[in-house]
Structure 1
């Protein structure tokens, strides 16, 4: 499998409560919307991209990406975004074998994210692979084969739990380990608060 057989799905459906609501990916970081930084990181790593977001898609029209809303009712968390990406890929990217998800509020994720996720798949293309760094799982960053779409529909419909790892454990899965960034920084640092945004402005990863 190569990155050319993948769709990149940027998850931007969070409620951003700690930022006062609204769209975190549209906040300005280093003179650009945060989403612009995320797109720039992901674009060289995949064949095509889409944005998972709810509400009026017109607010994202300047980014030139298709927008796919959650296909399930209510705020179902990141797995709803994964399902949106899988559903869109099946309908619009027939060459795709799977999708890679990234968070729209994490502008410094690794530039070799996709390569390492695919390496961790091994010989089984139906393996779900999640990122791990600093001893912590980062389940929003992962590779999801299209073959898991039907079971994800069933899982979300059951509604017993919507935890990412609970779904992943139903399938062959692996982790891809990532090292710390410059000066020991978290490569999956995400912006949740105004203080985080100020810290991101000073990050060497922007340079």
Structure 2
């Protein structure tokens, strides 16, 4: 088992939110609080430090993070660049990566990823039907390798994972926990499912 002091949490909030009209998705209200606040609760107290990868609204995100980490290179190059930036910023051997728009993640997500890692260098959540590559536990020593891959033009997370010893972690008992909120309708439906709030607001 990996002790808490060897784990850093990273919330990916550096995207452009294009499918939600360009809003800063992590700060969108969900059940009365920003999405990122719900996600942070899954990491706080389970990791040594919570980082948020963001490229705008840095002060706002700073309220929910120990540190806010901007992309190592500009231009909104995607989640793999956010992961790289987190791997570089972390001061622990392991990084737990989660997206900012999954407020229903399991409370024991960190423990599940750690328990499922085995001898691998990367553990990726799998809901029984598909992988969730931005819900993962990654050895931070892979930062330089990822930097080289990015420099070579790689932007596909699954292709980079495939270069290393990685494993699936079974989370098929709670597949709905990994639903991404890409539209306002997605958000309203999940709010109603979790909190009984009206879906037609």
TM-score (norm 2): 0.90
Name the counterpart of 2:127. 133
Q: Which has the higher helix share?
A: 1
**Contact (CA 8 Å) 2:124, 2:137: kept in 1 or not?**
yes
Match of 2:158 among 157, 160, 165: 165
Question: Gaps (5+ residues) in structure 1?
Answer: none
How far 1:206 sits from its partner (Å)? 8.8
Matched residues, number = 196
Equivalent residue of 1:141, what SS? strand
Q: What do residues 56-110 of structure 1 show as CA deviations (whole Å, max 9, x unaligned)? A: 5123233253110110232221111111111111xxx3xx111000000111111
When residues 64 and 75 of structure 1 are mapped into structure 2, their CA distance, relative to the original with a 3 A threshold, is: closer
**Contact (CA 8 Å) 2:13, 2:52: kept in 1 or not?**
yes
Distance in structure 2 (CA, Å) of the matches to 1:196 and 1:156: 31
Match of 1:116 among 99, 112, 119: 112
TM-score (norm 1): 0.88
Q: Which runs of 4+ in 1 moved over 4 A?
A: none
Distance in structure 2 (CA, Å) of the matches to 1:53 and 1:6: 20
Q: What do residues 98-129 of structure 1 show as CA deviations (whole Å, max 9, x unaligned)? A: 100000011111112111211222135xx111
Distance in structure 2 (CA, Å) of the matches to 1:103 and 1:145: 18
Alignment of 1:34-53 (within 5 A): 34-53=35-54
Of 102-111 and 195-204, deviating more is 195-204
How far 1:45 sits from its partner (Å)? 2.3
When residues 155 and 146 of structure 1 are mapped into structure 2, their CA distance, relative to the original with a 3 A threshold, is: same
Name the counterpart of 1:178. 171
**Contact (CA 8 Å) 1:52, 1:81: kept in 2 or not?**
yes
Question: Gaps (5+ residues) in structure 2?
Answer: none
Provide the aligned C-alpha RMSD in A.
Answer: 1.9
